[in-house]
Structure 1
Amino acid sequence: MSETIGFIGVGQIGGTVARLAVDAGYKVVLSNSRGPESLSGVISSLGENAKADTSANIAKDKNIKIIVLSIPLNAVPTLLPSLGLKNKVILDTSNYYPVREGNLEELDSNKLTTSEYVSKYLDSSNKLVKIFNNIFSFHLRNSATQDESNQTILPIAGDDDEAKKLTNDFVQKIGYKTYDVGPSSLSWKFEPNTPFYGGIYLPEAPKDLDHDGLKEFYKKSQANPLTYEKAKEVLDSTERSTVVGGRPENYPKYLTEIVYDLYAQQAKDKASGNSKLIL
């Protein structure tokens, strides 16, 4: 029987990981804040190995060991304690963007990393691993490959070695390598405002492209196939920023427009009452 991966939240990253998981032979169970019926379009596009359910049912399903958590940080304090999550490996994809979620003092002051903040609201029997937060969804979708010579690296961080091993096994099956950065307290090394966030995966674009051409190029491009040596070099030299949280204005306009276009399409689908998988 195929292993089943649970999803709480099906945004750009969650939906992309679900697609890669199905392609790799996994079954997936998806949930969002609006109920299973709103995910019919997503389920239809993923095929027979996908189904929708409530977040509470996914949390209680003993056959699901790994859950991909992809929800806004401002939903964490109320949603996570209400689900009764226990004995799960939680793959945390979250990023802190104050313009989106409002300011969180524990993060603004560097008292906690984003993963440590999320962990506060989880039962101690759960094991959290930070992953999938530092790569654009279009690069994540385009770059999965079983050709190890062309695989790129996704950094991970967490406090439990067995959970990180399970995460590594899953990520390898969907087409990536991982680099263990260390405990959750070091997960800031691949959050917004660091060299390992987004930009490190950008291939060099043809020099004659205009703004619209750059958008089309990067939407279709594969991420740079990073080596362990390159990952180590970048991560070892990364210093913690005093400016915490992502700022859209800090990124090239063509990249932010790609992301905003994807969000706009998702919002349009939500308004119509039926989410779709935007890949």
Structure 2
Amino acid sequence: MRTGIIGTGRIGSTLARMLVAAGHEVVLANARGPRSLAALVAELGPAASAAHPAEAAARAALLVLMVPFDSVRGLLPQDAVRDTVLVDATNAFAGAGNPRDLAGRGSSELVAEWYPGARVVKSLNTMHFETLAVAGTTRGERLAHFTAGDDGKAKEIVAGIITDLGFAPVDTGPLHSGGILQQPGGPLFNRPLTEAQALAWISH
């Protein structure tokens, strides 16, 4: 599966390296344009390419947003992501790293409104990039990555990617309630849990 990654900072670059190591193709995009990604593409090899965000969306079967939350709206043409599995890995922060007050809404709900027709799944946003880089390859029980969404098949696709990366997919439920659990201020944000711990927490 070709995965598009929009946003190539520390977390986006880490995800790209892990996907390529797991046998996936990636197409990378950022606000600075494809030329700025030449070194990363060269490092990743023939399974990686670079494009502008809209081109990456058109070429990818699954798209991951790893950009600042404020840049999501209007980043892509709506038609480019219609019927696309769109992983919202963004985090809505206010100043000083505090969670943004969204008046009870989930940040991923807003993303789904901005991109009607996209198959939005909240995932890959709760783990620090350094944990992401190493936890999926360590021995012992797998750490959990969470999925929330209203499209069951889309969540299954994202769960497959999570498994390929060496983590355990754990479903937190619908986009509203499950997404709020994962976003900044939620009980699962930046809290590494094993699969057993995560399942126990979800079921409690």
TM-score greater than 0.5 by the shorter chain: yes
Check 1:99–1:179 CA distance in 2 against 1; reply closer, same or farther (3 A cut): same
More strand by share: 2
RMSD between aligned residues: 2.3
Aligned partners of 2:132 and 2:97: how far apart in 1? 24
Match of residue 233 from structure 1: 200
Is contact 1:158–1:183 with CA below 8 Å preserved after alignment?
A: yes
Cα distance, 1:168 vs structure 2: 0.8
Aligned counterparts, 1:195-274, within 5 A: 195-198=187-190, 200-201=191-192, 226-228=194-196, 230-235=197-202
| Alignment equivalent of 2:120, drawn from 108, 125, 128 | 128
Choose 6-15 or 136-145, whichever is displaced more: 6-15
Match of residue 85 from structure 1: 81
Match of residue 111 from structure 2: 118
Check 1:100–1:116 CA distance in 2 against 1; reply closer, same or farther (3 A cut): farther
- Residue 109 (str. 1) matches residue 103 (str. 2): yes
Check 1:28–1:43 CA distance in 2 against 1; reply closer, same or farther (3 A cut): same
Match of residue 193 from structure 1: 185
Cα distance, 1:77 vs structure 2: 1.8
| Alignment equivalent of 2:61, drawn from 53, 59, 65 | 65
| Local SS of the residue matching 2:49 | strand
The one-letter amino acid paired with 2:62 is I
Partner deviation per Cα, 1:48-106 (whole Å, 9 max, x = no partner): 21111111112222xx21111111111122213467322210111011111179997xx
More helix by share: 1
Is contact 1:4–1:27 with CA below 8 Å preserved after alignment?
A: yes
TM-score by length of 2: 0.90
Aligned partners of 1:153 and 1:98: how far apart in 2? 26
Cα distance, 1:121 vs structure 2: 1.0
Is contact 1:72–1:101 with CA below 8 Å preserved after alignment?
A: no
Is contact 1:22–1:50 with CA below 8 Å preserved after alignment?
A: yes
Q: Provide structure 1 residue ranges, at least 5 long, that are not aligned to the other structure.
A: 202-223, 238-279
| Alignment equivalent of 1:74, drawn from 38, 54, 70 | 70
Check 1:69–1:93 CA distance in 2 against 1; reply closer, same or farther (3 A cut): same
| Local SS of the residue matching 1:162 | helix
- Residue 38 (str. 1) matches residue 36 (str. 2): yes
Is contact 1:127–1:160 with CA below 8 Å preserved after alignment?
A: yes
Is contact 1:195–1:234 with CA below 8 Å preserved after alignment?
A: no
Report percent identity of matched pairs: 29
The one-letter amino acid paired with 1:67 is L
| Local SS of the residue matching 1:77 | coil
- Residue 153 (str. 1) matches residue 144 (str. 2): yes
Q: Which has the higher contact order (CA 8 A, sep 6+)?
A: 1
Cα distance, 1:36 vs structure 2: 0.1
Aligned partners of 1:166 and 1:129: how far apart in 2? 10
Q: After the TM superposition, list the runs of 4 or more consecutive aligned residues in structure 1 that deviate by more than 4 angstroms.
A: 100-104
| Alignment equivalent of 1:95, drawn from 91, 94, 117 | 91
The one-letter amino acid paired with 1:86 is R
Match of residue 175 from structure 1: 166
| Number of equivalent positions | 203
